[in-house]
Amino acid sequence: MSNLAQRTLTAIIYGVTLIVLTLISAFTTMLMCSALAGICAFEFYAMLRSDAKLPNEWIGTVTAAAYPAAYYYWHFNGLLTLTVAAATVLLVWYVFYTPARITDVSLTLFGSCYTGLLLAMLISIRDILPGIWGGLLVVGVLLSVWANDAFAYLFGSRFGKHKLAPRISPNKSYEGFFAGIIGSVIAWCLLVLIPDLEFDFTLAIIGGLLTGVMGILGDLVESRIKRSTGHKDSGKLLPGHGGFLDRCDSLLIVAAVASLYFRILGMW
């Protein structure tokens, strides 16, 4: 199987699985986010371990996976309580595990927030509308991330000449960057079709522009993490794509920014 065919097949299976779990119910959306957060966190800590860092991957991974559940059951009180509990446990670990440095404590807490806390915001988006309509809203956000990636990759690989961030991600170009934003805007414009969602094309275009830019930023964040730790991919679980963090890097920030955008609009 060619690399493109392998990459396409993996993307289809991955995408369909996420869409189905999102549409079934808020509970399955939470399970999906918890699983993704836990795997992404573990990959993040594995990269740090290979770079002579000593994060506590078990505390960090469990905390990351627990963030979506904390929001699902207790909303922001749950997120705050979990963060305080994780910070307390990490400080106790720091005292009794003498090889650990305070930077290891910070990296552990950051990793759980970077993956779990940000992904938990997808559940807040699903809560905006009841039933399957909330699921469709989340699917729209997912599609905007995938459209951004697809447009940026296809257009950038064909027409990209001006490097966007050569020291961080040499393959990214300004041409692909703007094409990705267009893909994101198109996906966001589809949200106006969702019943009972007070959303017009102007708000959709703003949302698409905002998350399109932040999606690229999310990709560059993970690229910088990989470059600083000497990794090409975050893992090998997704054939043709690398690890789950490689697939979720843009989604992490887009989920948070989209949630904040809907919050500013007074939708939740």
* 218-233 confidence digits (pLDDT tens): 999 999 999 989 998 8
- With the CA atoms of 207, 27, 46 and 211 taken in that order, what torsion angle do they form, in degrees rounded to the nearest 10? 0
* 142-201 confidence digits (pLDDT tens): 999 999 999 998 888 788 788 888 888 888 889 999 999 999 999 999 999 999 898 999
* 83-105 confidence digits (pLDDT tens): 999 999 999 999 999 999 999 99
Whole-number pLDDT of residue 215 = 95
Whole-model pTM above 0.85? yes
- With the CA atoms of 120, 126, 131 and 133 taken in that order, what torsion angle do they form, in degrees rounded to the nearest 10? -150
User: What 8-state DSSP symbol labels residue 168?
Assistant: T
Cα–Cα distance between 25 and 56 in angstroms, integer?
A: 33
Cα–Cα distance between 259 and 141 in angstroms, integer?
A: 10
Residue range 247-266: average pLDDT?
A: 96
Cα–Cα distance between 178 and 104 in angstroms, integer?
A: 37
Distances (CA, A) of 258 to 37, 56, 93, 216: 18, 30, 35, 14
Distances (CA, A) of 230 to 38, 50, 135, 162: 22, 8, 38, 25
Whole-number pLDDT of residue 170 = 81
Whole-number pLDDT of residue 221 = 94
